[in-house]
């Protein structure tokens, strides 16, 4: 059993929702794919590439809200 | 030996201790490199690393401090080059690496079953191992043993991870940690938490503003009940009526004021009403007339002042002329006096002086004559008749007396002359002054005459020659002041009306400010229903969801890693203990065990377990490291594809018994694992040659030479 298969098996124990499982499996695929290309740093960059747009989206919304509040 | 790569051949040239090309045939399951220290054995083993991983093996991240500043190329070589052939079943992998680019070839390439590639990543995928893992699970380096037995749990765990083939999972955990998702989440939580604080602060600030505006309004006459929408419409109507009435009374027009039914319309109304008010202030007739008259008054005052200054100047000049006439008469009289009186008197006095001067001149010459005589006591001839003079000194004395008498006569005459000359000069100066005064009086009179029409234009009538201009202008000024007095009252009344309207508009504005601020507070209190707030909440939820997902994956990786570690340690437990028993052969703590939770290496005696570091000597620690390395290796659970292990000088700190035990251990390693050992110790060499069962190839290294480099020979 590969490491990825072990992770997916482990996730299956805790997550019952099929859609959620699919999503997590997809992220796992990407993580292992990036790891194969260049180890820890590549994994970190992959995750940052995913979370940074979400953070930017939050920051933009936060700025607009503060503006609406007159700040 | 079908599942993993074994080393079939390696050719080294110009790499570290090597100068000339040397080829090692390494097909056998056991390869021994022996010879004195610094003869090139380690360079041979390191060449395999360089062939596989290139310059990365010299970097700090590898964790071997000795490698810092390493030189790859031999100082006498023009190129460092390693060519390796590895085999896995039917697959042949050829790797070529050089530190110098040759024409038409790459510095690095590999061929897998004849297909050439230059991608380092693909090579690593093929061999299934990263440099750090290679050091821990293929090439047993002394630093790795130290890593296994260090007191630092993180380094120990890291080393064991690699030995256990768990690096991938550990690196993924490291990568997740490196992404700093929790820090981003913390920042987002902080920002979200601060929204409430900022919201309260803004509402408090606006409430304070409302209080201040209300206080100002109440000072202007508003009541607390006026700060509502109900009263503002009526107040707008009152302002409108007042503005229209004022305009009608003053004969002025203002633009139509807008409807004021809603608060927004009322705010627009207030702005328009202010503009109309400004227009009425500027254009009210009494004010306009007042301004005109004030300007006229100012103009006449300036003219009156100019007129007065011109007249004063003329009168001063005339006074001066009159004063001279009174003392010395006019120019004609003064000229006559000079000519008929003073000049004859002066002439007479000068004649008298000249007469005396002539006599005085003769006497002066005689005195000079006698003074020039060197012997005055002798008789001298008369300078006129040449008859002898008896007493020259006596004569000279008389002459001096006569000269003094003449000088006395001259004093009054000289004073007389001076008196006449001063008087003539004074009169001539006065004549000149009178002439100047006459000219100035004429010019000033002309200016006054020229100024008269300007004044007449300003007052709007002719000024007769019999009239005093200054008084006439003063009269006009008085008339203006009387009118201004009446106008002042009218303007004051108008302004009072306009001020009252302005006050009403100001009150309206205060009410609007309060209403607007109250509306803003209402909006803020309902901010959680606003789209912007929902966007913040949604984007935060998305971020948290992603962080949760990654957290779940991280947890799954941790669990899998832990489970895998435990399983592998459990599987290798027996091998490690067996190898340690064989190798160290301690009677007090005969067994060795690794705690799967703390990754602590423990010395074991029955049920007693203590950290190995606390009781083992250096030799025992080396035995422990070798046991862990070989025990895990023998467990056949490694995840990489390398089928050989390298032991570089493994007998350091080992006594003869330990060395014999080590050879026994090497014999216990499964047949499918190729073993490469280097040693400088003849004892271990002989034990290997005589007791290792596997087929062997031996390379004996002679002393290293500067000219030849490493000199291995197959024996």
Structure confidence at residue B21 (pLDDT): 94
Task: Among B179, B184, B560, select the one facing A7 at the smallest CB separation.
Answer: B560
Q: Which backbone phi and psi does B6 adopt, to 5 degrees?
A: -115, 155
d(CA B352, CA B350): 5
Contact check, Cβ <8 Å, B184/A65: no
The whole-model pTM stands at 0.56
Q: Which of B169, B178, B546 sits opposite A50 (nearest CB)?
A: B546
| B133/chain A closest Cα distance in angstroms | 12
| Domains of chain A: total | 1
Q: Which of A46, A54, A63, A64 to mutate to test the interface with B (most CBs of B within 10 A)?
A: A54
Rounded to the nearest angstrom, the minimum Cα separation between A47 and chain B is 6
Closest Cβ opposite residue B546 in set A36, A39, A54: A54
**Closest among B223, B252, B219 to B235, alpha carbons compared:** B223
Which two structure tokens, joined as six digits, stand for B84? 């390796």
pLDDT on residue B61: 44
Burial of B368 (0-12, 13-18, 19+ CB in 10 A): exposed
Q: Which residue out of A55, A60, A63, A71 would a mutagenesis test of the B interface target, given it has the greatest number of B Cβ atoms within 10 Å?
A: A55
- What is the reported pLDDT for B357? 87
Nearest chain B residue to A56, by CA: B539
Query: Which structural domain range is residue A50 located in?
Result: 3-68
Nearest CA in chain B to A65: B532
- The three-point CA angle B181-B185-B190 to 5° equals 150
CA distance B543 to chain A (A): 6
Residue indicated by tokens 């002329």: B321
Q: Do B549 and A23 touch (CB under 8 A)?
A: yes
Residue B512 contacts residue B270 (beta carbons within 8 Å):
yes
Q: What pLDDT score was predicted for residue B707? A: 86
Beta carbons of A57 and B542 less than 8 Å apart: yes
What pLDDT, on the 0 to 100 scale, is given for residue B621? 81
Is A48 in contact with B198 (Cβ distance < 8 A)?
no
B550 touches chain A (CB under 8 A): yes
Tell me the two tokens of residue B101: 């680019």
Domains defined for chain B, CATH in brackets? 1-138+640-715 (3.40.50.300), 329-463 (1.10.287)
Two structure tokens written together for B329: 């008469």
Please calculate the CA angle B545-B551-B552 and round it to the nearest 5 degrees.
90
Nearest Cα neighbor of B662 from B584, B605, B561 is B584
DSSP one-letter code for B103: T
**Alpha-carbon span B494 to B282, nearest angstrom:** 12
Strand order in the sheet with B591-594: B591-594, B601-605, B608-611
How is residue B17 written in tokens? 């201790």
Residues of A in contact with B121 (CB under 8 A): 36-38
Residue B412 burial (10 A CB sphere; 0-12, 13-18, 19+): exposed
Cα–chain center distance at B118: 46
Specify which residues B93 forms β-bridges with.
B86, B112
Name every chain B residue with its beta carbon within 8 A of the beta carbon of A50: 546
Q: Which two tokens stand for residue B163?
A: 């030995």
Q: Which of B434, B313, B307, B196 is nearest to A71 (CA)?
A: B196
Q: Outline where B251-342 has alpha helix (H).
A: 263-283, 285-328, 331-337
Q: Give B338's strand partners.
A: none
Residue to mutate among B556, B562, B567, with most A CBs inside 10 A, is B556
Three-state DSSP state, B26: coil
Query: Residue B124 and residue B63: Cα distance in Å, rounded?
Result: 19
| Nearest alpha-carbon partner for B95 in B79, B77, B117, B80 | B117
Rounded Cα distance between B273 and B282, Å, is: 14
* Angle (CA) B678 B679 B685, round 5°: 110
CB atoms within 10 A of CB B218: 15
With beta carbons less than 8 A apart as the criterion, state whether B631 and B579 touch: yes
- Of B9, B35, B28, which Cα lies nearest the Cα of B678? B35
Question: Over the stretch A14-25, which tens digit does the pLDDT of each residue have?
Answer: 888 999 999 999
Instruction: Specify the pLDDT at position B165.
Output: 67
Closest by CA to B297, choosing from B528, B458, B91, B516, is: B458
* pLDDT score of A70: 86
The encoded tokens of residue B42 equal 């380690």
Which 8-state DSSP code applies to residue B340? I
Averages of pLDDT over runs of 10 residues in chain A (71 residues) are 87 90 94 81 94 96 93 81
Residue B60 pLDDT: 45
Q: Which stretches in chain B have pLDDT values below 70?
A: 1-2, 59-69, 102-106, 132-133, 136, 142-146, 148-149, 151, 159, 162-163, 165, 373-380, 382-384, 633-639
Distance, CA of B683 to CA of B666 (rounded, Å): 15
- What pLDDT score does B573 carry? 86
State the alpha helices, DSSP H only, in B373-391: none
Q: Which pLDDT score is estimated for B1?
A: 45
Q: Cβ–Cβ of A61/B536 closer than 8 Å?
A: yes
| Pair of tokens at residue B140 | 């047993």
Whole-angstrom distance, CA of residue B190 vs CA of residue A58: 12
Task: Identify the residue among B126, B172, B557 best suited for mutation to test binding to A, counting A beta carbons within 10 A and taking the highest.
Answer: B172
Question: What are the tens digits of pLDDT across the range B334-376?
Answer: 999 999 999 999 999 999 999 988 888 888 888 887 777 656 5
Distance between CA atoms of residues B715 and B713, nearest Å: 6
Whole-number Å distance between alpha carbons of B666 and A71: 74
> CB atoms < 10 A from the CB of B615, how many?
13
DSSP helix/strand/coil, B270: helix
Scored b (16 or more CB within 10 A) or e, B296-330 reads bbeebeebbeebeebbeebeebeebbeebeeebbe
- Residue entry with tokens 């690095």: B108
Q: Which residues pair with B117 in a beta bridge?
A: B110
Closest residue in A to B122 (Cα–Cα)? A37
Structure tokens at B342: 């003073």
Complex ipTM above 0.95?
Answer: yes
Residues of B in contact with A47 (CB under 8 A): 175-176, 179, 181, 550
Q: Which H or E run contains B430?
A: helix B392-459
DSSP secondary-structure letter at B70?
-
Binary contact (B556, A7; C-beta < 8 A): yes
Q: CB of B381 within 8 A of CB of B352?
A: no
What pLDDT, on a 0 to 100 scale, did the predictor assign at position B209?
Answer: 96
């Amino acid at each position: 059993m590969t490491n990825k298969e072990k992770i997916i098996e482990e996730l299956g124990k805790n997550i019952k929702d099929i859609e959620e499982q699919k999503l997590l499996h997809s992220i796992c695929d990407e993580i292992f794919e990036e790891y194969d290309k260049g180890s820890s740093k590549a994994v970190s960059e992959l995750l940052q590439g995913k979370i940074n747009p979400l953070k930017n989206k939050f920051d933009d919304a936060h700025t607009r809200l503060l503006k609406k509040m007159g700040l | 030996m079908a599942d993993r790569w074994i080393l079939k051949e390696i050719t080294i040239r110009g790499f570290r201790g090597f100068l000339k090309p040397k080829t090692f045939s390494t097909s056998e399951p056991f390869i021994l490199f022996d010879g004195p220290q610094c003869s090139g054995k380690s360079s041979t083993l390191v060449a395999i690393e360089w062939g596989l991983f290139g310059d990365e093996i010299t970097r700090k991240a590898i964790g071997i401090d000795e490698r810092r500043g390493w030189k790859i190329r031999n100082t006498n070589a023009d190129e460092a080059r390693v060519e390796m052939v590895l085999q896995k079943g039917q697959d042949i992998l050829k790797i070529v690496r050089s530190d110098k680019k040759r024409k038409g070839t790459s510095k690095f390439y590999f061929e897998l079953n004849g297909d050439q590639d230059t991608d380092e990543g693909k090579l690593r995928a093929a061999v299934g191992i990263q440099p750090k893992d290679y050091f821990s699970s293929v090439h047993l380096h002394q630093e790795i043993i130290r890593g296994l037995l260090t007191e630092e749990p993180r380094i120990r765990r890291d080393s064991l991870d690699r030995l256990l083939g768990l690096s991938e999972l550990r690196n993924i955990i490291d990568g997740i940690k490196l992404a700093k998702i929790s820090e981003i989440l913390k920042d987002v939580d902080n920002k979200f938490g601060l929204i409430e604080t900022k919201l309260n602060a803004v509402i408090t600030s606006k409430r304070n503003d409302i209080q201040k505006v209300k206080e100002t309004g109440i000072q202007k006459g508003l009541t607390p009940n006026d700060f509502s929408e109900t009263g503002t419409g009526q107040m707008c109507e009152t302002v409108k009526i007042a503005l229209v009435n004022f305009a009608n009374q003053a004969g002025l027009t203002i633009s139509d004021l807008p409807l004021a039914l809603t608060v927004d319309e009322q705010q627009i109304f207030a702005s328009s009403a202010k503009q109309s008010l400004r227009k009425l202030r500027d254009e009210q007739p009494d004010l306009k007339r007042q301004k005109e008259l004030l300007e006229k008054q100012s103009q006449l005052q300036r003219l009156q002042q100019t007129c007065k200054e011109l007249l004063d100047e003329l009168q001063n000049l005339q006074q001066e002329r009159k004063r001279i006439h009174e003392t010395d008469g006019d120019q004609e009289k003064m000229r006559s006096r000079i000519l008929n009186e003073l000049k004859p008197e002066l002439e007479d006095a000068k004649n008298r002086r000249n007469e005396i001067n002539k006599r005085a001149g003769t006497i002066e010459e005689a005195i000079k004559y006698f003074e020039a005589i060197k012997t005055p006591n002798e008789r001298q001839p008369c300078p006129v008749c040449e008859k002898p003079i008896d007493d020259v000194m006596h004569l000279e004395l008389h002459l001096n007396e006569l000269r003094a008498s003449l000088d006395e006569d001259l004093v009054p005459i000289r004073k007389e002359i001076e008196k006449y000359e001063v008087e003539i000069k004074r009169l001539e100066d006065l004549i000149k002054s009178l002439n100047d005064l006459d000219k100035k009086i004429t010019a000033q009179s002309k200016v006054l005459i020229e100024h008269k029409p300007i004044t007449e234009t300003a007052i709007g009538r002719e000024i007769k020659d019999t009239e005093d201009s200054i008084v006439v202008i003063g009269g006009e000024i008085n008339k203006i002041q009387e009118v201004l007095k009446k106008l002042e009252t009218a303007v004051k009344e108008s302004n009072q009306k306009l001020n009252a309207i302005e006050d009403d508009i100001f009150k309206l504005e205060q009410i609007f400010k309060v209403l607007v601020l109250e509306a803003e507070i209402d909006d803020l209190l309902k901010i959680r229903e606003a789209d912007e707030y929902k966007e913040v909440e949604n984007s935060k939820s998305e971020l948290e969801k992603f962080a949760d997902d990654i957290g779940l994956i991280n947890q799954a990786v941790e669990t899998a890693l832990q489970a895998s570690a435990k399983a592998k340690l459990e599987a290798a437990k027996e091998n490690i203990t067996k190898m340690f028993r064989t190798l160290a052969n301690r009677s007090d703590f005969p067994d060795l065990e690794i705690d799967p939770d703390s990754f602590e290496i423990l010395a074991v005696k029955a049920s007693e377990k203590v950290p190995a570091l606390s009781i083992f000597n250096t030799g025992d620690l080396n035995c422990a490291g070798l046991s862990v390395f070989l025990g895990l290796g023998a467990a056949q659970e490694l995840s990489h594809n390398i089928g050989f292990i390298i032991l570089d000088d493994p007998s350091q700190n080992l006594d003869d018994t330990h060395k014999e035990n080590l050879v026994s251990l090497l014999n216990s390693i499964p047949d499918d694992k190729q073993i490469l050992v280097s040693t400088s110790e003849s004892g271990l060499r002989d034990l290997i040659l005589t007791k290792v069962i596997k087929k062997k190839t031996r390379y004996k290294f002679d002393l290293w030479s500067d000219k030849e480099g490493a000199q291995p020979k197959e024996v």
